[in-house]
Structure 1
Amino acid sequence: MTGSETPSSFRLAYVPGVTPTKWVRIWNERLPGIPLTLVGVPAAGAAALLRGGDADAGFVRLPVDRTDLSAIPLYTETTVVVVPKDHLVAAVDEVTAADLADEIVLHPLDDTLEWERPPGLPALERPATTEDAVELVAAGVGLLVVPQSLARLYHRKDLTYRPLADVPESRIALAWPQERTTELVEEFIGIVRGRTVNSTRGRPPTPPQPKAERSARKGGGAPRKPAGGKTVGGKAVGGKNPRGATGGGKRGKPRRRP
């Protein structure tokens, strides 16, 4: 896009737990004339935000409906259980869902994990948000299972977390509307995928050159003749033989033994 068609900025949505700092820095280095605007959005509202045109692309949590959205999976997060620091779980390195069977495990309404059945015992009410659930864990009401990035986002000094095995995991993806795959979207995809500034994406590869042509270009002319004489029938003559004698003369008679 050029001229008046170039947008004034690129709008990038991101859900809680995602830190887009690295990609934003690279964007600012490569496209300093096009500001990147960050748009924070709850995980449940990310797809609607993209479809509504309020962002050009966004970091979302899978799954998303790909009927009209394209998505590139980026990474999978570790699932952890958030507990008070004095809880028994804090004394081990890893726990399983079975270890939480007798614990009250909070299940917020904005939970990003796909459960067939959440672990532990359900609370009387579901907290409205993950942030509210963290506050309840600190109050001793129950425990909370979340992606590790959310445990870090809502970290408190009186809480800790441990990896939880045999449970669903959350996947982060870059998504955008299929019908609005603009040049700037392609540019950001390249940044996320690690393409360099000199990436050859979209450029035809350089055709291989014949060896003789490469040699001629490097040397500036035809191959040199063998040193020391003429060529007859494609063979060199008149040069030195392996023993250092001059070629072209007759061999002497062998000496008789005395």
Structure 2
Amino acid sequence: MSIFQDIRTAFSRRDNALNQLLLINVLVFVAFLLFRTIIFLATQNRQGHMPVLEWLALPSVPGTLLTRPWTLLTYSFIHFDFFHILFNLLNLYWFGALVREYLGDRRLVSLYVLGALAGAALYLLAFNLLPVFRGTPAILYGASASVTAVILAAATLLPDFTFSIILLGPVRIKYIAAVLVIVSIAGVNGGNPGGEIAHIGGAILGYFFIKQLQRGRDLGRPVQAVGDWVGRLVTGRPNLRVTHRSRPVESTTKATGPRKPGQEEIDLILDKISRSGYESLSKEEKQKLFKASQQ
């Protein structure tokens, strides 16, 4: 099977959000790498790719942003440095797998998108309101805000889950998340203040996303609704209409498969995970959590 067929297969699956996010980032990175090389060979100009980058990266100037509103999202898929994309995608893979397993594909995508928007919002506020940044045009690109949102979401949901880190051994992910936030705050006065500020925006979103979810409010529903609308627009499938018909009382008591868990049950399970970790769940509780993630 060819690489192109593998990519097509990956995007044709509906339960493959993590791999799809990883692939989009890799494909964009490779496309820009080839584009930069071709431009350099043709023009001998190492900055010949900048017009395309500026068209997709997030500008700090509001007037420019109004002419490029798509950059609020497209910036979160652009990388130029190999170690930048490697670090981001490794973290997205590790922490995204946790979020996907416990909350499902749709909420993982919602976190990625909302993390990008939150990072963009804080970046724009900082560069237009804080005197230290105001008047300094800049652009923002990279998946770091989205990835940070996923990391903080995983750490908020499963604070005592451990990763084995070389030279350190088992480390709880709540400490990994805490170090990441501290490093981002400390880096605001460094060489990449815009990126660090976006990290903080993503971190805040990831934390509140889980806290609101535990209270029964899914902040990702608008993102999911827009995604469903775009999907119907692309595929041409009409909205499904469900007609409810009255049935005899006795027929409603027949078993038709496992019942869907209620929000109270899910909240109790999430609380248990927060206290004791995912490993403390029974098989039945894990099945309920997985079923809820598919709703």
- With normalisation by structure 2, the TM-score equals 0.20
Q: Select the structure that is richer in helix.
A: 2
- Point out which structure has higher relative CO (alpha carbons under 8 A, 6+ apart): 1
Q: Select the structure that is richer in strand.
A: 1
- With normalisation by structure 1, the TM-score equals 0.22
CA radius of gyration, larger in: 1
